[in-house]
Structure 1
Amino acid sequence: MKIIIIGCGKVGASLAELLDEEGHEITLIDNKASAIRNITDTLDVLGVVGNGACHSIQITAGIETADLLIAVTNSDELNLLCCMMAKKASDCHTIARVRNPQYNSEISFIKEGMGLSMIINPEEETATDIARLIRLPSAIKIDVFAKGRVELLQLKLPKDSILHNMMIKDIQIKLRCNILVCAVERADEIFIPSGNFTLQANDKISIVATPKNAIEFFHKIGITTTPIKNVMLVGGGNISVYLAQKFIDMGVTVKIIEQNIERCEQLSETLPKALVIHANASEYNVLLEEGILEVDAFASLTNMDEENILLSLYAQKKTHAKVFTKISRLLYDEITNEMEIGTIIKPKLITADRIAQHVRVMQNPKGNNVETLYKIVGNKVEALEFRIRDNSKLIGIPLSDLSIKENILVSCVNRKNHIIIPDGQVSLQSGDSVIIVTTNTRLNDLNDILI
């Protein structure tokens, strides 16, 4: 596809990298020549310096023959204007990043009225991810397939895990859990494991299961999943607003600590059921005085990465709460991966991932039958949901008899909303949706899994 991206910030740069890896033809537009140069020097993409809302600039970037325009500048209004100009100049699809909560109740109206393919709100997407993880506090990441009927969960095996030295094929026999281990990250190596693969403590494993079976599996391996009753959020930004509302709707008690008095007043009006505290969380004893020892979950969501890291380190030391740490600077990856700061949340990458997923699904009319796509294990593994069509070469043949490429695992089958964790005797039928986990990126059709 020919794709134009307007805005070369962290989201635009991450998105350009993801889509370039997928083999798309990318052109970037930004007012800053230095921003364009930084990306074009490292990626095989084109760059245009200028205002992405200008018709002439879009024409220079090739809007008349583009398949998709994505506007991810820091201005909601500019993003929408860029998309409107693109729709006037061509027949391409458009995606806009819109962050202001005031627009949230009108998203459907804006999307339909402007003919947008997608509107993405990074803060709301981030809040959704955190709220999903709260249900299973020991999970590092949870993605959903089949409209929530299937989950892909990542967790780290503790040193004393009963799974240590256990072969994957023995999990179902010994624990009687209907789950499938579909990926293992061990140090710098990634494995798409067979049944004979032996797990080790400190492995990061990804499993596929129904929500009910996932909870049962966590219990049986000794990881508690007690309900979250109260949370503490540090920072009163938009992520906290969306997250607090989700928690309140779940019946969870919410406390927000914010040091700006005017923002505290706004939060109190927006979230009357939350307790808003005017204080600097990094000052001596503030977190203790506000009850950090009693909370079930703690999220540091300020605009300062360094403050978030320090507060999360403190929370990890003082409590047994589920800890979330918002990180904006991607350069901190190597440092933070070695630190005990709970689950790291990166809104910029979440946004780029969601858009990349949508782009892959958009290719369906061109023969691609991907319905859902997630990049997991540091973007080194893809989990894809395919719909089985009548002409598929896989129909009616037991999985054990198929010549499937290496590093590809058929991990789940959704057959008329009945979830099957498949063994070698399962055969696929027309209309099934199938979840494939693989290190072989850029699969566009289910038939591509065959040798």
Structure 2
Amino acid sequence: MRVIIVGAGQVGSTIAASLADSHEVVVVDIDPDRVESLTYAIDVLAVEGDGASVDTLKEAGIEKADLLIASTDDDETNIVTCGTAKTVGDAFTIARVKSTKFLNTWQQAEGAFGVDHMVGTNLLTAQTVVRVIGLPAARDADTFAQGVVQMAEFTIAPDSPVANQTVQEADRFESLTFAALLGDDEVVIPRGETVIEPNSEVVVIGSPESVRQFGTAVAPDAEAVTDVLIDGGSDIGYHIARLLEDQGLKPRLIEQDPKRARELAEQLPGTTVMESDATDREFLEREHVDDVDVVVSALDNDEKSLLSGLLAKRLGANRAISVVDNGAYVDLFEEVGVDVAVNPREATAEEITRFTREQHAENVALIESDRAEVMEIEVDGESVLSGKPIRESVGDLPDGVVIGAITRNGEFVKPRGDTVIEVDDHVVVFVDADAIEEATPKL
């Protein structure tokens, strides 16, 4: 497949790196330094130019392209790029947008703007934050098979009851699979005797109830979230509040701009909107931030988000989640005290990656940006999984692949060695990054 990616920032580069081994990838960017850097970093053809220009797209080979991904930081440029591509080619077009006004328009008239699929960065980010809020001890979470299967990633604190246990000792849940242990430098596919080291990260796949029970085992002191404070009335902050309202919660939201605060108060009837500075210590103390279960920093500035999250934690908030626009800051935020840092660009790359996998891949979640993937596939007759017990079929797959869960006719099936996977089953698998190229065509 020939893929043209317009925009060589974090989103475009992440997608290009994931596709370069198995597809013909062309990346277009107006910045010559980015183009040169990408040429040396991964095996792609890099073209310098404006992706919204028909001449640049022709130079990139748009007339022979199967897929065009417009992933610059400018919504209008991405939409125009897709529309331009449709005038000279027949590629499937994907546009990344931040503003939900474009997403809403496109959803009401699918195919509008010449865009075949539109990815709303702000909404995706809010959904990611809300999933993490729903699992008090998790640092990442995603759902598969229409909510029947859940994946979650937990950091094992040194004082966690699970720390230093073997997987066999920790595996007390009927519908749970330990998919991987992530250390600093390696991805370990666990066996029963594998020890869960303190400060390692555990990826589990199972029913939502079993994942929630494991989260309680990891951090027994973590309580159900009832009080959420959102710092910042950005579009992402608005969507987080709206989604929490939909779950029956009554969040509080701090917004400094009076006009924006009034707008949010009108749009969010179940949210208490407060006009103030999210970094005002006296205000936070008056609002009893020390009783808050989760503080979400969704300010328009990364540095302010970091400050507000750390201040809330210092004043006694139980947990801090920050939306971090610059992906290079994610590790830094978590190292200095923020519990979870969510990067909108990573969420966007994850969603777009789903469209670039094999046709039967229903959903994809990226683990630690690019260390592994969890993907949902619908099994067909050509899959090495179909018609055989799992203990036999996994012999045809590379190391680094774990069958995490199966759904059949919408019902959860825990994978065991003697389980026979049938055609039309939905299978959720963990795949180490090193095994993706070999494993994907076989699944």
Query: What TM-score results when the alignment is normalised by the length of structure 2?
Result: 0.91
Give the match for residue 227 of structure 2: 230
Give the match for residue 302 of structure 1: 299
Q: What whole-Å deviation, never above 9, does each CA across 1:294-332 have from its counterpart, x for those lacking one?
A: 222111111222222222222223324331112222333
Q: 1:392, 1:190 → 2: CA distance? A: 25
Q: 2:330, 2:110 → 1: CA distance? A: 34
SS where residue 140 of structure 1 aligns?
strand
Q: What whole-Å deviation, never above 9, does each CA across 1:78-123 have from its counterpart, x for those lacking one?
A: 3222111211211110001122233343232343335533101111
1:17 aligns with 2:8: no
Q: 1:176, 1:12 → 2: CA distance? A: 39
1:168 aligns with 2:167: yes
Q: 2:191, 2:442 → 1: CA distance? A: 20
Quickly say closer, same or farther: Cα 1:44–1:223, change in 2 above 3 A.
same
Q: 1:417, 1:187 → 2: CA distance? A: 37
Give the match for residue 210 of structure 1: 207
Q: 2:147, 2:36 → 1: CA distance? A: 41
SS where residue 111 of structure 2 aligns?
helix
Q: What whole-Å deviation, never above 9, does each CA across 1:133-155 have from its counterpart, x for those lacking one?
A: 11111111111111111001111
Letter in 2 for 1:324: I
SS where residue 13 of structure 1 aligns?
helix
1:374 aligns with 2:372: no
Q: 2:225, 2:268 → 1: CA distance? A: 19
Alignment of 1:262-301 (within 5 A): 262-301=259-298
Q: What whole-Å deviation, never above 9, does each CA across 1:26-57 have from its counterpart, x for those lacking one?
A: 22333333443343343333333333222222
Within the candidate set 382, 389, 412, 2:380 is matched to 389
* Shift in Å, 1:445: 5.9
1:96 aligns with 2:89: no
Quickly say closer, same or farther: Cα 1:121–1:444, change in 2 above 3 A.
farther
Letter in 2 for 1:7: G
Q: What is the aligned-residue RMSD (CA, Å)? A: 2.4
* Shift in Å, 1:202: 2.2
Quickly say closer, same or farther: Cα 1:293–1:393, change in 2 above 3 A.
closer
Quickly say closer, same or farther: Cα 1:23–1:121, change in 2 above 3 A.
same
Give the match for residue 442 of structure 2: 448
Give the match for residue 7 of structure 2: 7
Give the match for residue 177 of structure 2: 180
Alignment of 1:70-89 (within 5 A): 70-89=69-88
**Contact 1:157-1:202 within 8 A present in 2 as well:** yes
Deviates more, 1:97-106 or 1:218-227: 218-227
Q: 2:37, 2:400 → 1: CA distance? A: 34
Deviates more, 1:217-226 or 1:140-149: 217-226
Q: 1:72, 1:377 → 2: CA distance? A: 20
1:194 aligns with 2:191: yes
Give the match for residue 399 of structure 2: 406
* Shift in Å, 1:245: 0.9
SS where residue 111 of structure 1 aligns?
coil
Quickly say closer, same or farther: Cα 1:82–1:340, change in 2 above 3 A.
same
Q: 2:441, 2:323 → 1: CA distance? A: 39
SS where residue 441 of structure 1 aligns?
helix
Letter in 2 for 1:107: W
Give the match for residue 353 of structure 2: 356
Q: 2:348, 2:223 → 1: CA distance? A: 30
Q: What whole-Å deviation, never above 9, does each CA across 1:139-198 have from its counterpart, x for those lacking one?
A: 1111111111100111112223332332223334xx354311111013332201122212
Letter in 2 for 1:405: P
Letter in 1 for 2:100: P
**Contact 1:139-1:154 within 8 A present in 2 as well:** yes
Q: 1:312, 1:219 → 2: CA distance? A: 24
Query: What TM-score results when the alignment is normalised by the length of structure 1?
Result: 0.89
SS where residue 39 of structure 1 aligns?
helix
Q: What whole-Å deviation, never above 9, does each CA across 1:388-429 have from its counterpart, x for those lacking one?
A: 222444433322334243222222121222212222121222
SS where residue 338 of structure 1 aligns?
helix
Instruction: Please list every run of 5 or more consecutive structure 1 residues that lacks an aligned counterpart in the other structure.
Output: none
Q: 1:117, 1:445 → 2: CA distance? A: 28
Q: 2:109, 2:7 → 1: CA distance? A: 21
Q: 2:113, 2:138 → 1: CA distance? A: 38
Q: 1:393, 1:244 → 2: CA distance? A: 44
SS where residue 274 of structure 2 aligns?
strand
Q: 1:434, 1:425 → 2: CA distance? A: 15
Identity %: 26
Q: 1:134, 1:424 → 2: CA distance? A: 34
SS where residue 285 of structure 1 aligns?
helix
Quickly say closer, same or farther: Cα 1:401–1:37, change in 2 above 3 A.
closer
Quickly say closer, same or farther: Cα 1:286–1:17, change in 2 above 3 A.
farther
* Shift in Å, 1:205: 0.4
Quickly say closer, same or farther: Cα 1:170–1:383, change in 2 above 3 A.
same
Q: 1:320, 1:222 → 2: CA distance? A: 16
Give the match for residue 56 of structure 1: 55
Deviates more, 1:267-276 or 1:134-143: 267-276
SS where residue 233 of structure 2 aligns?
coil
Give the match for residue 151 of structure 1: 150
Q: 1:400, 1:95 → 2: CA distance? A: 39
